[in-house]
Chain A
Amino acid sequence: MHLVDWIVLLGLSAWIIHDGLKRTKDSQELEGYFLAKRSIPWWAAGLSVMATQLSAITMIGTTGQGYTDGLRFIQFYYALPLAMVVLSLTLVPFFYRSGVYTAYEYLETRFDSKTRSLTSLLFLISRGMSCGAVISAPAVVLSLVLDWNLTATALAISLPAVVYTMFGGVQAVTWTDVKIMVIIIVGLVAVVLTAVLGVPVSVGDGLTMAAATGRLQTFDFSFDLTNQYTFWSGTIAALFLFCSYFGTDQSQVQRYLTARSVDEARHSLLMSAYWKIPLQLLVLLLGVLVFVFYVFTPPPLLFSKTETQRLQRGEHAATYAALESEFTAALAARRDAATALAAARDDGDPGRIEGQRAAFRSRNQDIDRIRARATALARDTSRDRRFSDVNYITPTFILTQLPVGLVGLLMLAIIMAATDTIAGELNSLSTATVIDFYKRWAKPTATDAHYLTVSKVATGLWGLFACAVAVWAAELGSLIEVVNRFGSFFYGSILGVFILAIGVPFATGHGAFVGLIAGMSAVAWVASSTNVAFLWQNVVGAVVVVVVGIVASGFSRKSLTSG
C-alpha cells in the first residue's frame, strides 16, 4: 500500500476510536455501560444494528459471490423487512417494557431460571466461537493479499474492538458503528463507480452481459428444500431465521434496547427493513460489475497471489502454464463476444442480440471451466481442499484498480467491518456473562462499580478468547465449523421458546425446556441425515419446540394439578 493509504487507514481508525470513546457518558454505571441509559437516538441504534450484521465476510465473501454467482443470494434477505415488522409488533415491546438487559433474562420472568441459563449459555458458546471466525476469515485473506503477518492482522482487527468496548461500553460501540457504516457505504459506492468507469461499454450493455451468464437472477420460484437461495426459502424459511436473529440474539437485541423509547427501538429495527435489501444489492452488484470490468480488462487466472506463486513453483507448474495460455486465448474470445453483443444491442435486432448473448455465454463458460481446473490444481498443490479463490477477487480489485487514498479507505472499511461486528458481539457476550450468570448465580447483590469492573474484565477475557480462536483458526478449522454448525442448530429452536413465551399463555417453564431440547435434537437429526438447506432447519426447530412445548406444558400442568 502507498504511504497515503497508510495515513488514511491509520488516521481514520484513530479518529473513529477516539471519537467513539469521547462520546461515552455515564459508563461508570451498569445501565450506562450496557444500555447507554437508553439514550441512543433511533437512527444511531439502527445503523448499529446494520453495522453489527455487516461483517468483513460480507465485504470480501459476498462481493466475491456476486462476481461468481450474481445476485441470486439477494433472495436470502427477502423476508427481513417482514421479520422487522413482526418483531416490532411482538418481542420488542416485551423486552423494552420489562426493563431487561438481556433477551434471556425475560425468559426467567416468564418461565424459569433453567430455560434462561440454557438459552444464554447456547448464545455464549456460539457467539464466542463465531467471534473467532469473524476475525480469522478476513485476517487470512488480508494477510495474504497485503503480505502482512497473520497474527498481526488478526490482532489489528480485534484489539481496537476489545479496547473501545472494554472502556466505552455500548455507547462507544454504537458511535463507532455509525461512522464505520458511513465509511463502508462510501467505500462500496467508490468501488462500484471505479468498475463502471473502467468499462468501455454502457452500464446497460454490461448488465446484459451479466444477465447472459445468469448473474442478474433475483427470483428463483422453484420449490426445492435443498436449495438455500430460492424465493420460497428467502421469504418463508428466512423469516424464522431473521425473527430469531434480530429478536432473540443478544448481539442484536442489545443494540435496540439502548433506544430512548419503545417506538424508537422499533424505528431502529425498521431502518434495516428499509435499507438491508438495497445495501445487500449494492454489495452483490459490486461483484457483478467487477465481473463486467474483468470482461474488458484481463484478470489473473487465480486472484490469490500466494496460490498462483505456489502453483508456478510446484509440481503442476507446466500444467498451470498451459492453462494460463489457454486462459489468455479464452479471455480474448470472450472480449470479442462482449464487443459483438454490445454492437448487436446498438443495432437493435432481437435475433442478432439473442445470438450474441448465446455466444457470450458460451465463451464465458469456457473461462469458468479453465478457472475450475486451476482451482482444482491449487487445492491439490496446497493440499487444502477448502481453498476458494472467491474471497480474493474484491481485495485484488481494490488493490490493483482503485486510486491511491481510496485503497486505504477500502482496507479500513474491510478491517472496521470486522472490528465493529466483534465489538458488538463482545459487548453482548459480556452482558450475558455478567447479567445471566455472574449476577444471577454468583453474586446477586453488589455495587454497580463491582459489576462494572467484572463486565470490563469479562469483555477483555472474551476479546482474548476471540483473538486466540482467530490466531489458531487454521488449527481449529474443523472445530470452528463444528461449533458454527452447532450454533445453527438452535436459532429456530430459541425462536420457538420465545413464541411459547409470548404466544402460548399456558406454556410452562418445564414445557419450554423440554421443547427446546426436542427442537435442537430434531434440527441436529435433519442436518445430519437429510440434505434440507440450513434455512429450512430454522422452521423445523421453531415448529418442533412449539408443538413439543405445548404438549409438555399440558403434561406438566396436569401433573401439578393431580399432585
Chain B
Amino acid sequence: MSDMHRSYVRVLATWAITLLGLYALQRYFS
C-alpha cells in the first residue's frame, strides 16, 4: 500500500472514530 493510500485509510478511520465520539456524546448526556 502506498503512503497516499495509508493516508486515506487514516482519514477514514479518524472519521469513523469522530462520528462514534459524537454519537457517544449525545447518548451519554441524554
Contact = CB atoms under 8 A, between A and B. Distances in A.
Contacts of A148: none
B22 interface: yes
Interface residues of B, number: 16
B25 A270 contact: no
A278 interface: yes
A263 B23 CA distance: 33
Contact of B8 (A78, A88, A208): A88
A216 interface: yes
A78 B12 CA distance: 12
Interface size class of chain A, counting residues whose CB lies under 8 Å from the partner chain: 20 to 34
| Interface SS majority for chain B | helix
B27 to A, nearest CB: 9
Given A211-B29, A211-B30, A274 B22 contact: no
Interface in B1-30: 3-4, 7-8, 11-12, 14-15, 18-19, 22-23, 25-26, 29-30
A267 B15 CA distance: 16
Contact of A81 (B3, B15, B29): B15
B7 A270 contact: yes
Contacts of B7: 266-267, 270
Contact of A263 (B4, B15, B22): B4
A84 B4 CA distance: 13
Interface string A190-221: 00000000000000000110110000111100
Contacts of B15: 81-82, 273, 277
A216 B26 contact: yes
Given A85-B8, A267-B7, A274 B19 contact: no
A88 B30 CA distance: 38
A82 B3 CA distance: 18
A24 B15 CA distance: 35
A207 B29 contact: yes
Contacts, number: 53
Contacts of B23: 218-219
Interface in A252-274: 263, 266-267, 270, 273-274
A216 B30 contact: yes
A281 B12 contact: no
A266 B10 CA distance: 14
Given A85-B8, A270-B7, A208 B14 contact: no
B8 A277 contact: no
B26 A217 contact: yes
A523 B7 CA distance: 35
Given A207-B29, A216-B29, A216-B30, A84 B22 contact: no
Interface in A330-378: none
Nearest to A81: B15
Contacts of B25: 216, 218
A281 B11 contact: no
A74 interface: yes
Contact of A273 (B4, B11, B19, B26): B11
A345 to B, nearest CB: 11
A89 B4 CA distance: 10
6 contacts: A84-B11, A85-B12, A211-B30, A263-B3, A274-B11, A277-B22
Interface pairs A-B: 9 shortest CB-CB = A211-B29, A218-B22, A81-B15, A273-B11, A218-B26, A85-B8, A216-B29, A207-B29, A211-B30
Interface of B: 3-4, 7-8, 11-12, 14-15, 18-19, 22-23, 25-26, 29-30
Interface of A: 71, 74, 78, 81-82, 84-85, 88-89, 207-208, 210-211, 216-219, 263, 266-267, 270, 273-274, 277-278, 281
Given A210-B29, A211-B29, A273-B14, 7 more contacts: A74-B22, A82-B12, A88-B8, A89-B8, A217-B26, A270-B11, A277-B22
